[in-house]
Chain A
Amino acid sequence: MEINSAISGSKAASPYSGRSWRLGLLIVTMIIAIPVLVIVASLSQPFSSAWQHLFDTVLSDYISNSLLLMAGVGFGTLLLGVSAAWLTAMCDFPGRKILSWAFLLPMAMPAYIIAYTYTGILDFAGPIQSILRGIFGWSYGDYYFPQIRSLGGAICMLSLVLYPYVYMLVRIAFLEQSTAVLEASRNLGKKPWETLFLVALPISRPAIVAGVSLALMETLADYGTVAYFGVSAFTTGIFRTWYGLGELTTAAQLCAFLLLFVFALIMAERWSRQRLRFHHNSANKKLVRMQLKGWHAYIALLIGCLIVGVGFVIPATQLLIWASSRWQENLNGAFLSLLFNSFSLAAIAAICCVIVATFLAYTKRVFNSRLELGAVGVASLGYAVPGTVIAVGVLIPVAWLDNKIDFFSRAWFDIPTGLLLSGTIGILVFAYVVRFLSVSLNTVESGLSAIKPSIDESARSLGARPAQVLKRVHLPILRSSLLTATLLVFVDVLKELPTTLILRPFNFNTLAVRTYELASDERLVDAALPALAIVVIGLLPVLLITKSILNERARHE
């Protein structure tokens, strides 16, 4: 008992007495949680008659299409991601080293861009069908050609750009699993392919589940692809309910149902990350890759080139051709102001994200109690929540606040303020912070974790307060992590479509919005220039990951 009280006593007299820090953390977390809470709270509102209409007509389509989309993209990313990881991590053949980073390239391609590019390539007037008609002398209606603007097409497009999530995680799992386990399986009488299915894949199951969950979160969040292809999914349904029917509450309630799917994915992902701990094998032996010879090597190379070619090289080349065909008309002042808008918006959002993330990560590190862990957990849920949902969750409370301000302003000063906050850059940036905070939080936290606690302690014992430790010790050490976090958020904001579509100020355009509008108007060639700009910027994080792959290669080879 005495020991117990001594321990609790020492806790009460904790050397960290930053009550204001902790209060700040609580407030920040609560503000960040508002959009999701608003959406969940919308379920307590009465269900309007619009529900009956939805129920009778399109709701079953939303649900079944979203489920089919998830099943299809889940299978597609699994197949592509695991094959790519197996080829580059476990086999050796000419071209493997290049492929191991080239497999990441499709990440640079937002799904709505690859979707409209392939529409241009594959539709009736596109090059493929024209060539086929030229060769065989067919004309319209003579032949069957798969329709890309369909659910199946959307599944293909999303799988092609989302498989790198699976690839990255599974590749690391393959690299880190002990070679001895695979050898043990051979030693116990199993052929190489039996070893793949009996040992290597089951061990990597947590990484596979985590990767597929991330890909499916992106699938649920996707608006551009399904809208462009005319597939009725949840996100398009939310847009339609709101803009078409004008039913804000019903839209919010639809968002709440979408969140159910999202939380199932979050659970799957967190569960699998926990399992990952057990699946870590100790030995860090030299990796022995299967040497592929002869036609095996050619097939491996062919599969790799096919994935990268279809996922990146072909659509990127097409964009380049389109963009260069019209660059004189399109590269004008309007495009430059588009660039300026997008870059400055992304930069502001990225810097805000990193500041908030640093504050949260640092508070968690110093106090590290249940309060901080929970708060950071809540704050980092945004990555899973579709941008459409966050936008609706931001818009409702802001509109309410605007009304109140307007009411009081009229009552007291007799000045109508109208919609003071709605449709401002500030609100848009807030939504981005909610959505992308976890991206920066992960990077900052992993950077912080590299700083040993003894460094903090020595700084504190030399008389530095927590804020000073942050400024004088951590920030200099963290500089590269902070830059990485800023870059990642910057690129994500640049690519983000639905949040921007809903919350942007009137007549304020970004690259993503402009691309989408032009593509929707069937001006595919004109859409290529802003699309290409997004893809080029999107390559920056790919380069970053490539750098870290090259570093780890030094460790494994």
Chain B
Amino acid sequence: MNDQLVIDKVTVTYDNVAAILKASFSLAEGEIGCLLGPSGCGKTTLLRAIAGFEPVIEGSVSLHGKSISTAKYTQAPEDRAVGMVFQDFALFPHLNVSKNIGFGLSKMPAKQRDDRINKMLALVSLGDSAEKFPHELSGGQQQRVALARALAPNPQILLLDEPFSNLDAELRTQLATEVRTLLKENKVTALMVTHDQDEAFAMADKIALLNGGKIVQVDAPYQLYHKPSSLFAADFIGKGSVINVGIDAAGLLGNNLGSLSIQTLPKDLGNTVKLLVRPDDVTYDKTSDTKLPIISKAFLGPNYLYELALTDGQCVPCLTQSHIDIPIGETLPVRFDLRHVVIFNGE
């Protein structure tokens, strides 16, 4: 098995309540994974179980083929080759940047250690800040020190706990891309935790979506967005509305939404379906006869996001260019482009 990290049916309790229930997930060597979910879904607890800060009640965590956490055995955090970047970075305030980075290298001979520290400093481009103390650094720099410190002992896996949440919004996506490039270039296996799907999309090869302590879907970012396997996934990822529509045997939808190709439909459909309608599934078309009243609209800079009412009162989103500016209460001519639409069984 060339899987670097295997989480097998892991259950973790927190104050006697199951915070993670029978979660399974794996990462291949060099792969970047992400645990994504709303706050309180247990994703940080799972990360802490991998680091060895929380014991598992059942199941197992193995690293590079070796079991490190089971119901009976929890390897001490200091004995695992697991690196961790903490949410608040947790830099040691009494040590300067190089000593922070060198903290986990005390078993190395001095010469080798210095080389490693310099290499890590260069890696995160902080060569000129080696003597500075954490409080003298900006948030982005502190984050890079935390990353260098965790990577210095050459861990088998790097864990990142909400690594960008302490930074300015502008810095976040930029840093996420930078960190991804750095990890990929150095072939680091990494697993990060976030509640922000943009960060997850920017960083990860593989996303595990969690809800209420359970992993509900594991997929690549594209699949997760376009093929959510549950209503929760559909609702949590991206914008869109789920609407109930009647459907007949020929695939013709109610509400004048057009028809769906009967071949692509799952069997055993009832006579209503739930449709996930993304803003890009409804397009503005001046020539269309389908004119829907505008309930609300939001200016997003390059786009307007309209909320339109169907004949039965349910709402669908529509993204237009921002120069298409029609007041609330009037109607917007649209065309439904339902090729990518996601269908769930009705009631």
Q: Which residues of A contact B (CB under 8 A)?
A: 178, 180-181, 183-191, 198-199, 202-203, 205, 278-283, 288
Contact = CB atoms under 8 A, between A and B. Distances in A.
Given A203-B94, A279-B94, A281-B93, A187 B78 contact: yes
B76 A278 contact: no
A282 B77 contact: no
Contacts of B153: 188-189
Given A183-B53, A183-B77, A203-B93, A188 B104 contact: yes
B48 to A, nearest CB: 8
B6 interface: no
A236 B134 CA distance: 47
A198 B103 CA distance: 9
A190 to B, nearest CB: 6
Contacts, number: 78
Contacts of B103: 185, 188, 190, 198
B308 to A, nearest CB: 44
A191 B92 contact: no
Contact of A184 (B90, B94, B106, B133): B90
Given A184-B84, A185-B103, A178 B92 contact: no
B94 A187 contact: no
Contacts of B78: 186-191
Contacts of B76: 186, 191
B88 A282 contact: yes
B140 to A, nearest CB: 15
Contacts of B135: 278
A274 to B, nearest CB: 12
A191 B106 CA distance: 13
A279 B134 CA distance: 10
Interface string B72-91: 00001111001110111011
A189 B91 CA distance: 15
Contacts of A282: 88, 166
A183 B53 CA distance: 8
Contact of B86 (A184, A189, A203, A279): A184
A50 B45 CA distance: 74
A282 B103 CA distance: 21
* Residue picked from A186, A198, A203, most chain B C-beta under 10 Å: A186
B90 A183 contact: yes
Interface of B: 51-53, 76-79, 82-84, 86-88, 90-95, 103-104, 106-107, 133, 135, 149-150, 153, 166
Contacts of B92: 181, 184-185, 199, 202-203
Nearest to A194: B78
B143 to A, nearest CB: 13
A255 B209 CA distance: 72
Given A186-B77, A188-B149, A180 B94 contact: no
Contacts of A178: 88, 90
Contacts of B51: 183, 187
Contacts of A281: 88, 90, 93
Contacts of B150: 187-188
A180 B88 contact: yes
B309 to A, nearest CB: 45
Nearest to A179: B90
Given A183-B53, A184-B84, A278-B135, A189 B104 contact: yes
A508 B52 CA distance: 67
A180 B84 CA distance: 10
A205 B88 contact: no
A180 B87 CA distance: 8
A180 B40 CA distance: 19
Nearest to A180: B90
5 contacts: A183-B51, A183-B84, A184-B149, A188-B78, A189-B153
Nearest to A282: B88
A185 B103 CA distance: 8
Contacts of A180: 86-88, 90
A184 B106 CA distance: 15
A255 B149 CA distance: 52
Contacts of B95: 202
A283 B83 contact: no
B93 A187 contact: no
Nearest to A184: B90
B20 to A, nearest CB: 17
Contacts of B91: 181
A544 B176 CA distance: 49
The 8 closest A-B pairs by CB, nearest first: A188-B104, A180-B90, A283-B88, A186-B77, A184-B90, A202-B94, A180-B86, A278-B135
B87 A187 contact: no
A36 to B, nearest CB: 35
A188 B107 CA distance: 11
A154 to B, nearest CB: 34
Contacts of B88: 178, 180, 281-283
B107 to A, nearest CB: 8
A496 to B, nearest CB: 38
B17 to A, nearest CB: 14
A383 B149 CA distance: 44
Contacts of A205: 94
Given A186-B78, A190-B78, A181 B90 contact: yes
A181 B93 CA distance: 9
Contact of B77 (A187, A199, A278, A280): A187
Contacts of A199: 92, 94
Contacts of B166: 282
Contacts of A202: 92, 94-95
Nearest to A186: B77
Given A191-B78, A203-B94, A279-B93, A183 B86 contact: yes
Nearest to A280: B93
A181 B82 CA distance: 16
Given A202-B94, A279-B94, A187 B84 contact: yes
Nearest to B161: A180
Nearest to B86: A180
Contacts of B133: 278
B100 to A, nearest CB: 9
A427 B91 CA distance: 53
A185 B153 CA distance: 12
Nearest to B136: A278
Contacts of A288: 53
A279 B90 CA distance: 11
Nearest to B83: A187
* Residue picked from A188, A205, A280, A283, most chain B C-beta under 10 Å: A188
Contacts of B149: 184, 188
Contacts of A181: 90-93
A179 B52 CA distance: 15
Contacts of B94: 199, 202-203, 205, 279
Contacts of A278: 93, 133, 135
A190 B149 CA distance: 14
A186 B149 CA distance: 13
A192 to B, nearest CB: 9
* Residue picked from B78, B150, B166, most chain A C-beta under 10 Å: B78
A186 B90 CA distance: 12
Contacts of B86: 180, 183-184
Contacts of A280: 93
